[in-house]
Structure formats: C-alpha cells, structure tokens
C-alpha cells in the first residue's frame, strides 16, 4: 500500500493546514509499516514493552474512532478491540491479529474521520460527548490538534520500531 506523505502547504488557512498535517502523519504511520512481514509488524520494541508497529496501527484506528465518532459525533459504536479485561488490547493482542483487518480498520476509521471533519461547518463545532475531567465539550479544532499530537508522538515510536526491525530510518 503506497502512501502519500506530502508535507502540508506552508501557507494555508487553518482548516487546510490542520487537515494537511493530520493526513501527513497518517501517511507516515503507514509508510513505517510498508514492506514488512507479519512477523516484523508484530515485533515488540524491548521488554517489557508491548509496543509494535501493528499495535500502533490498531491503536490509531481505535483513537480515530474514539475521538471523531464516539466523542465528537456521540455515536454509540463499540471499541474496535475488546478492552473490557485489557485496557491496552489494541497493543497487546497482536500475536494472532489479522493484519489485513487491522489495516482495513485503520483505513475505514481514517475515512470516517475525514468525513466528519469535512462535514463540520467549522472547527468551532463542539463535541456531543464532554470531557470526563472538565465536563466541557471539545471543539473540533481541539480534537484535530490533539490527533496531530497523538500521531506525532506515536510516529516517533514507529520510527524507532522500524529502525529496530530493519535499520530503516527517516521521518519525511
């Protein structure tokens, strides 16, 4: 699966800039997984960490669903991975995970998130679900910015994982 990692425009409106950076980071995560075998995608960082590239893909699919569909839209959709007995099931249950399904779920959730953002009249629209900490809703701007931060952090992990797997490094 080839990815478009084009950098966002250097001069653009806020919405285009945020959308561009979010897309850029989605592409980086997939790029870090390209050309690897199932075994390599499942390879853990270092004990005791359960972190793997496949786990990151599963986690980010869950995060996309959580923020855009569950929190912003207030949809009553279940989590992708059963976290009833393991909060980190997206990371921990990769040994038997179906790779095609994991990447397909990621693509589906990203497509759903793109649609949510595209249909919102502005970045000022507030989420249906409120923060459990503050009781206040989130603006779409906050959610998109948080997603960029979430990907940036995990893409740093992905870079280190990929380097451990086969020595390939690079961000752009």
Model confidence over 97-156: pLDDT tens digits? 999 999 999 999 999 999 999 999 999 999 999 999 999 999 999 999 999 999 999 999
Give pLDDT tens digits for 17-73: 999 999 999 999 999 999 999 999 999 998 889 999 999 999 999 999 999 999 999
Distance CA 95, CA 72 (A): 32
pLDDT of residue 172: 53
pLDDT band at 171 (very low <50, low <70, confident <90, very high): low
2: closest CA among 29, 23, 31, 32? 31
Distance CA 142, CA 110 (A): 17
50 and 91 Cβ atoms separated by less than 8 Å: yes
The domain made up of 14-166 is a member of CATH 3.30.70.1060: no
What percent of the chain clears pLDDT 70, i.e. is strictly above it? Answer: 96
**Which residue is associated with the tokens 């960029």?**
148
Domain limits of the chain?
Answer: 14-166
pLDDT band at 3 (very low <50, low <70, confident <90, very high): low
**pTM given for the model:** 0.94
pLDDT of residue 122: 98
pLDDT of residue 2: 46
Distance CA 56, CA 29 (A): 8
Q: Which H or E run includes 126?
A: strand 126-130
Distance CA 15, CA 122 (A): 8
- Reply yes or no on whether the pLDDT at 5 is more than 70: no
């Amino acid at each position: 699966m080839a990815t478009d990692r084009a950098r966002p425009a250097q001069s653009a409106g806020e919405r285009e800039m945020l959308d561009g950076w979010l897309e850029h980071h989605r592409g980086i995560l997939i790029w870090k997984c390209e050309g690897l075998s199932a075994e390599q995608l499942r390879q853990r960082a270092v004990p005791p960490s359960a972190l793997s590239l496949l786990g990151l893909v599963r986690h980010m699919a869950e995060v996309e669903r959580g923020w855009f569909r569950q929190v912003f839209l207030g949809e009553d959709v279940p989590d992708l991975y059963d976290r009833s007995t393991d909060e980190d099931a997206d990371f921990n249950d990769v040994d038997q995970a179906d790779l095609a399904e994991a990447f397909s779920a990621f693509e589906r959730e990203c497509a759903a998130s793109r649609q949510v953002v595209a249909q919102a009249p502005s970045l000022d629209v507030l989420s249906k679900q409120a923060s459990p900490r503050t009781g206040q809703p989130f603006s779409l701007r906050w959610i998109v910015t948080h997603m960029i931060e979430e990907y940036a952090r995990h893409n740093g992990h992905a870079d280190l994982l990929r380097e451990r797997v086969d020595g390939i490094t690079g961000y752009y």
